[in-house]
């Protein structure tokens, strides 16, 4: 009987479990190629994400030896329908598990390490108290706007002005003044229904083209954004939520979505380099953010965001697979796994 050992962990409410043993490392010269193998092979992906071992609410990360000598560890992110190049909440989960489980020993109150995501290298700064990680700050991938404030027509909604942007994955950004749905848990179903339609319309009418990654050509996520305001400390903050395929909301403020939003805000002169921003989730959890640098890549103006948050280890699991188990690939039912 085969077994896989996982650590159960969430970042600001978003599940990002981490596999720490029991899986052969996938083939590939880069972590990106390894992720592509998992995507095509589907066996591990289906085994851990589908019922009866997983569910649509769950993300699972596989830690792998790094391919880049500058990295301390690599990781591959498995979400319900995508293997994204980067995820803020999942990278915070992975870093927390690596440190709290002693895979990378905690030797100082401030630990600095580099993780290799499929999309590139991520610098990590962890604040620790003995063997507990109290916060993780990540330096995300360069983020940028692709289509700035374009019109699309959305079924059942009408004409919307949207922006597409990259923050570690591909997003369509929507100002909530155009939808007027209050971002709270009671409206989650209404939000995912609207945002799923917006993703579909944006892919059909705008598409997506990453200037450095040729096969990254579709929009995976929609961020619904409330207007930013100043809090009592004079820091800009805003509530937002991200729809993940298939029709599920990110429980965290979403690090890659916030990075895409910050690139958009910077282009509109709504936020400056080194200016603080607090991104608030549908559950009221927060990321502390700022843009730390600006650069040009292949003619595209990019900003580099830093995102600070926290993850909590909630348990450990062992998943077993008996040779006679009738569901080696799991299963999906539309009562809990929505159709797109």
Per-residue pLDDT of 118-140, as tens digits, reads 999 999 999 999 999 999 999 99
pLDDT at 211: 79
CB 252 within 8 A of CB 12: yes
Catalytic, out of 87, 228, 279, 281: 87
Q: Is 259 a catalytic residue?
A: no
Fold match flag (2-139+313-317 vs 144-308): yes
Residue in the block written with tokens 């000598």: 69
Q: What is the pTM (predicted TM-score) of this model?
A: 0.96
Domain boundaries, the chain: 2-139+313-317, 144-308
Q: Which fold has domain 144-308?
A: Diaminopimelate Epimerase; Chain A, domain 1 (3.10.310)
DSSP bridge pairs for 236: 230, 277
Confidence of residue 2 (pLDDT cuts 50, 70, 90): confident
pLDDT at 188: 97
DSSP state of 298: T
CA dihedral 89, 95, 99, 102 (to 10 degrees): 110
pLDDT at 210: 83
Q: Which fold has domain 2-139+313-317?
A: Diaminopimelate Epimerase; Chain A, domain 1 (3.10.310)
What is the C-alpha separation between 31 and 114, in angstroms, rounded? 14
What is the C-alpha separation between 58 and 79, in angstroms, rounded? 7
For 138-185, how does the pLDDT look when each residue is reduced to its tens digit (9 = 90+)? 999 999 999 999 999 999 999 999 999 999 999 999 999 999 999 999
SS3 of residue 101 by DSSP: coil
Mean pLDDT for 263-287 is 97
For 182-224, how does the pLDDT look when each residue is reduced to its tens digit (9 = 90+)? 999 999 999 999 999 999 999 999 999 887 776 788 999 999 9
| Position 277 pLDDT exceeds 70 | yes
SS3 of residue 67 by DSSP: coil
For 53-84, how does the pLDDT look when each residue is reduced to its tens digit (9 = 90+)? 999 999 999 999 999 999 999 999 999 999 99
> What percent of the chain shows pLDDT beyond 90?
91
pLDDT at 298: 81
pLDDT at 212: 75
Question: Mean pLDDT for the chain?
Answer: 95
| Position 1 pLDDT exceeds 70 | no
């Amino acid at each position: 009987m085969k077994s896989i050992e996982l650590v159960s962990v969430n970042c600001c409410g978003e599940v990002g479990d981490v596999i720490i043993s029991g899986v052969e490392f996938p083939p590939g010269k880069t972590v990106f190629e390894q992720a592509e193998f998992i995507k095509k092979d589907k066996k591990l992906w289906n085994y851990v994400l589908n019922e009866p071992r997983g569910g649509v609410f769950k993300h699972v990360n596989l830690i792998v030896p790094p391919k880049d000598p500058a990295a301390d560890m690599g990781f591959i992110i498995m979400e319900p329908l995508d293997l994204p190049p980067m995820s803020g909440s999942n990278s915070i989960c992975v870093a927390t598990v690596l440190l709290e489980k002693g895979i990378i020993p905690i030797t100082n109150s401030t630990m600095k390490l580099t993780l290799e995501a499929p999309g590139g290298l991520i610098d990590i700064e962890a604040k620790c108290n003995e063997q507990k990680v109290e916060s993780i700050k990540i330096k995300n991938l360069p983020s940028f706007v692709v289509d700035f404030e374009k019109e699309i027509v959305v079924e059942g909604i009408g004409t919307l002005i949207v922006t597409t942007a990259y923050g570690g994955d591909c997003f369509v950004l929507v100002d909530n003044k155009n939808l007027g749905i209050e971002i709270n848990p009671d409206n989650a179903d209404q939000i995912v229904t609207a945002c799923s339609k917006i993703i579909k319309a944006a892919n059909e009418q705008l598409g997506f083209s990453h200037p450095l990654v040729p096969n990254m050509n579709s929009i995976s996520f929609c961020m619904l954004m409330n207007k930013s305001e100043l809090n009592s400390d004079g820091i800009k903050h805003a509530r937002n939520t991200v729809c993940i395929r298939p029709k599920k909301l990110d429980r965290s403020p979403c690090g890659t979505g916030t990075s895409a939003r910050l690139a958009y805000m910077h282009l509109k002169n709504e936020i400056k380099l080194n200016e603080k921003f607090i991104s608030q989730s549908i559950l009221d959890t927060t990321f502390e953010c700022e843009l730390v640098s600006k650069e040009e890549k292949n003619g595209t103006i990019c900003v580099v965001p830093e995102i600070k948050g926290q993850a909590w280890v909630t348990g450990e699991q062992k998943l077993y697979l008996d040779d006679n188990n009738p569901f080696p690939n799991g299963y999906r039912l539309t009562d809990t796994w929505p159709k797109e």
